Amino acid sequence: MEAKKPIVMSGIRPTGYLHLGNYFGAIRNYVRMQDEFECFFMVADLHSLTTHPDTKELKSNVHRVLAENIACGLDPEKAAFYCQSHIYETSELYLYLNMLAYKGELEKTVTFKDKVRLQPNNVNAGLLTYPVLQAADIILHRASLVPVGKDQEQHLEMARNFANRFNHRYGNVFPEPMAFNYNDELIKVPSLDGTGKMSKSENQMATLYLADSDDLIRKKVMKAKTDNGPAEPNATKPDYIENIFLLMRLVSARPVIDKFESDYNNCNIRYGDMKKQLAEDMVSFIAPIRAKVEGILGNENYLKQIMETGAEKARNSAKATMEIVRECMGLTYF
């Protein structure tokens, strides 16, 4: 028999509109993992209720996240790709874990404190127990590997604590979930304005979305900050110039990159030409993904079928875990 593959689990918030940073930072890793591990990828629609109680746009946001990830290569035949709210077992495990989570530690969570500041009029209990729900998502499948960014490390540590507390109190059910990333893949995708990385919340003109039209991509790239060029050969690049090279390395062909590197080192670089080239290479990279997304979004039956298939796989795994959980907890009276 084939050795059992390690179990991977991660959640994606349905905030819609993925950008290039999401692609190179997360999705590309998911796509690689789905061949090597048993993967559960979940759209965290319940989590979004902690900050967005209005559900009018939830459906279209969920559809978009599904479509964008699939267009980027996530394969619903290989991984279980599902919605959190379709797996009722998550809510059950969340309830049990809430009895093992302490008010003090939850209040100390950095993301909780941030949200209290952002929405002082809606500090609901779901916000406080956000990390408990996230722990339930993960350990429901007895996952040991969780591909997440740095911002999720505290949540993951809490998930380990809750899992360990459960194990100590009721019996050894859950492996310790650990953050996992291919270490050669920690690629930084810089924003176009020379400050920080691409992100949803920052300057919209400095972030390239997979849904951006060709013209918008060109416009954004052409606005990237440059200067008069280096004053001496082989100069170190200022950050905003290095960023343009970094972006080029993500989407342009080797000879193109080499040409502009050597132009830079020889002090005859023309940033206008470089940005035009980068813009066209970005368009060639993003346009086919955008077209795929639109195709998928236009096919509601396909989306529905994806969600059903994913939910079925996730439910099978969840049901098996919850039988053990109830048994260990002594919640079996008949």
CA 38 to chain centre: 18
CB of 15 to ligand TRP, least distance (A): 9
Residue 289 φ then ψ, to 5°: -65, -45
β-bridge partners, 8: 39, 145
**276 labelled catalytic:** no
Instruction: Give the residue, chosen from 7, 9, 208, 286, that forms a contact with ligand TRP under the rule CB under 6 A.
Output: 9
**200 labelled catalytic:** yes
C-alpha 3/C-alpha 212 separation (Å) is 43
Tokens coding 169? 């109190």
Q: Which is nearer to ligand TRP, 251 or 314 (CB)?
A: 314
Q: Which residue is nearest to ligand TRP (CB)?
A: 11
- Contact string (CB under 6 A) for ligand TRP, positions 124-163, x = contact: ----------x--xx-------x-x---x--x--------
Q: Which is nearer to ligand TRP, 69 or 277 (CB)?
A: 69
Q: Considering Cα of 209, then 210, then 216, then 221, what sign does the dihedral take?
A: positive
Q: Which is nearer to ligand TRP, 132 or 269 (CB)?
A: 132
With both helix axes pointing from N to C terminus, report the angle between 110-118 and 153-170 in degrees, rounded to the nearest 10.
120
C-alpha 69/C-alpha 14 separation (Å) is 11
Instruction: Give the residue, chosen from 8, 10, 206, 318, that forms a contact with ligand TRP under the rule CB under 6 A.
Output: 10
CB of 30 to ligand TRP, least distance (A): 11
Stretch that binds ligand TRP, among 7-15, 87-95, 117-125, 167-175 (CB under 6 A): 7-15
CB of 28 to ligand TRP, least distance (A): 16
For residue 151, what are the contacts with CB-CB under 8 A and spacing of at least 6?
111
32 binds ligand TRP (CB under 6 A): no
CB of 24 to ligand TRP, least distance (A): 16
Catalytically annotated residue among 115, 220, 275, 313? 115
DSSP character at residue 126: H
Catalytically annotated residue among 78, 200, 225, 276? 200
Tokens coding 304? 């529905």
Residues 44 to 63 in contact with ligand TRP, rule: CB under 6 A:
44, 47
Catalytically annotated residue among 59, 78, 150, 197? 197
Q: Which is nearer to ligand TRP, 202 or 261 (CB)?
A: 202
Instruction: Give the residue, chosen from 7, 8, 11, 180, that forms a contact with ligand TRP under the rule CB under 6 A.
Output: 11
C-alpha 190/C-alpha 199 separation (Å) is 9
With both helix axes pointing from N to C terminus, report the angle between 130-139 and 110-118 in degrees, rounded to the nearest 10.
130
Q: What is the dihedral of CA 69, 73, 78, 79, to 10 degrees?
A: -30
**56 labelled catalytic:** no
Cβ-in-10-Å burial (0-12, 13-18, 19+) of 252 comes to: buried
| Contact between 83 and 42 (Cβ < 8 Å) | yes
CB of 155 to ligand TRP, least distance (A): 6
Q: Which is nearer to ligand TRP, 133 or 283 (CB)?
A: 133
User: Known catalytic residues?
Assistant: 115, 197, 200
Site residues, ligand TRP (CB under 6 A): 9-11, 13, 44, 47, 134, 137-138, 146, 148, 152, 155
